[in-house]
Amino acid sequence: MATNITKIFLVLNSGSSSEKFSLYEGQDEVCSLYFEGVEIDGKKKFICTVSKADGSEEKVNKTWDSLNDAFKEAKAIFEKEGFINESHPLDGILVRTPAAGTYFSKHHIVTEETFDELEKAKLTYPLHVPGAIRGVKNAQEAFPGIPVMTMSDSEALTRDSRRDAEYALPKEIIEEFDLGRWGAHGSSYGYVMGKVKELGILEKKMVICHLGSGCSVTGFIDGEPAYTSMGETPLEGLMSSTRTGSIDPTVGALLGEKLGAAEAIKVMNKVSGLVALAGSSDMREIISGLEEGEENATKAYNMFIDGVAGKIGEFAAKMGGIDAIVFTATIGERSIPVRNSIITKLEFMGFKIKQDAKLDKSKGYVNVAEEGSKPIYVIPTNEAAYMITKASELVDAIK
């Protein structure tokens, strides 16, 4: 069945202390609302910024006491701006849902089963699931009758082509806890690999590096995922802004015994990684500290670069080589020093990067490799575009 790409979707990104509403016509974002917490007269309030497709921004002259209250106003703001009305109704509301397990390896239109599964997932995904639950509930209340969908963050990675999807644990434990190396950033990988094929730059063995606030690497063979760095949760794999990355499981067990499982998981997810090493989760600040010779920033930067380069090298060994590397997400797309540092470590594999190469967004991608090098692409990701395509398929299926 053909998908109508001109549907109107509201995409939610529900954080622990913020809420972003992005309204799309097809794959074009026409307006977004960003609610964030600020302190006013000693009390936490939430303010809203309206951003439009023409680049204009406007602060709403109002504050809210909670994100739940703010959510109720979102519909009114969109209606006031003329983006939603009777002749221009929503086709669906999308809630990005990073969560582990068989159920969340697929996209779903929300039912009571969805809430049961989200409650189960709260322990292992403390950064994302509580916000997703809040977003789903508020969406149903604010937009009655509109399909609300949980969009899987692992669907694009849940393929028979995966060679690393299982853990070496007893079968009965795997089944009891529904464990697996589900991976994450699936919407980003799905979009970027689709773009690679569309641009005609597909190579047999490729590695895509999604480097942002959260970081992961995925190896593809013939355009299908073979290996990915994240596991049951995004905690496995690379160190990120606030996550430890892979550590000795015994450390996690010891923290769990001392702090309790939920608190231990929060520590490893929220206050570790770059922010623990350098005192900042912002790669720009870390690079500035590195340039000034600041010891902690230098250590954090080097560990980060070693982690990414090491994972690429691991996948090269597993796949029998790499024919091309792709960088995406905020750090991958914007940080020339990070790309240069990673590729410098991989020159023995036939990669050499132009030290000052920049992305021309009008072209949609750029090959930053030196002449004679294997390709090194920078491709901006668009997770919303991938989710919208999948949501359109879900809506069409129920009509």
- Judge whether 388 lies within some domain: no
With 50 as the cut, is the pLDDT of residue 175 above it?
Answer: yes
Alpha-carbon gap, residue 341 to 338, rounded angstroms: 5
**pTM score:** 0.91
Question: What does R_g of the chain's alpha carbons equal in angstroms?
Answer: 21
- The verdict on 137 and 219 lying in the same domain is no
What pLDDT does 329 receive?
Answer: 95
Instruction: Please give the positions annotated as active site.
Output: 153
- Judge whether 168 lies within some domain: no
- The verdict on 101 and 205 lying in the same domain is no
- The verdict on 147 and 191 lying in the same domain is no
Cβ atoms of residues 11 and 387 within 8 Å: yes
- Judge whether 26 lies within some domain: yes
- The verdict on 67 and 129 lying in the same domain is yes
- The verdict on 128 and 266 lying in the same domain is no
Quote the domain boundaries for residue 270: 186-383
- The verdict on 346 and 246 lying in the same domain is yes
pLDDT 10s digits, 301-319:
999 999 999 999 999 999 9
pLDDT 10s digits, 250-286:
999 999 999 999 899 999 999 999 999 999 999 999 9
- Judge whether 161 lies within some domain: no
**Mean pLDDT (the chain, rounded):** 91
- The verdict on 195 and 130 lying in the same domain is no
CATH of the domain at 259: 3.30.420.40
- The verdict on 256 and 126 lying in the same domain is no
- The verdict on 142 and 216 lying in the same domain is no
First to last CA, the chain: 11
- Judge whether 394 lies within some domain: no
- Split into its structural domains, the chain has a count of 2
